[in-house]
Amino acid sequence: DVKVTQSSRYLVKRTGEKVFLECVQDMDHENMFWYRQDPGLGLRLIYFSYDVKMKEKGDIPEGYSVSREKKERFSLILESASTNQTSMYLCASGGQDYEQYFGPGTRLTVT
């Protein structure tokens, strides 16, 4: 079974704080993704990576950055958290067949 884990299930941060969300997968997948999910908007792709040290912008990269130093780990960074970044953040990994497997999600609240 594919296992994708995320560092926190719930997180509360203050406006302006730097936030790190970490994601680890154990299936040796090349591709990893970060999404946010908001009511009425569905899942929106923030960034993805198809190899170590490679990253590509998704639909909504503004206010976010990512890091992929090792194949199994993909980190999402909010340099200066804002209230409009309150959301559910979902990490996924996938292989060459384009099927994606999701982690349990991190519900981030920025106050």
Partner 1 sequence: RKEVEQDPGPFNVPEGATVAFNCTYSNSASQSFFWYRQDCRKEPKLLMSVYSSGNEDGRFTAQLNRASQYISLLIRDSKLSDSATYLCVVSTGNQFYFGTGTSLTVIP
One-letter amino acid at 56 equals: E
Contact segment (CB under 8 A) with partner 1 among 15-23, 62-70, 72-80, 92-100 equals 92-100
The vertex-91 CA angle with 86 and 92, nearest 5°, equals 150
For the CB of residue 62, give the shortest distance to partner 1 in the complex, in Å: 17
Binding mask 13-52 for partner 1 (x = CB under 8 A): ------------------x-x-x----xxxxxx--x-x--
Query: Nearer to partner 1 by C-beta: 30 or 72?
Result: 30
Given a contact cutoff of 8 angstroms between Cβ atoms, the answer to whether 110 and 86 are in contact is yes
> Residue 84 CA to chain centroid, in angstroms?
16
Query: Nearer to partner 1 by C-beta: 16 or 25?
Result: 25
> Residue 83 CA to chain centroid, in angstroms?
17
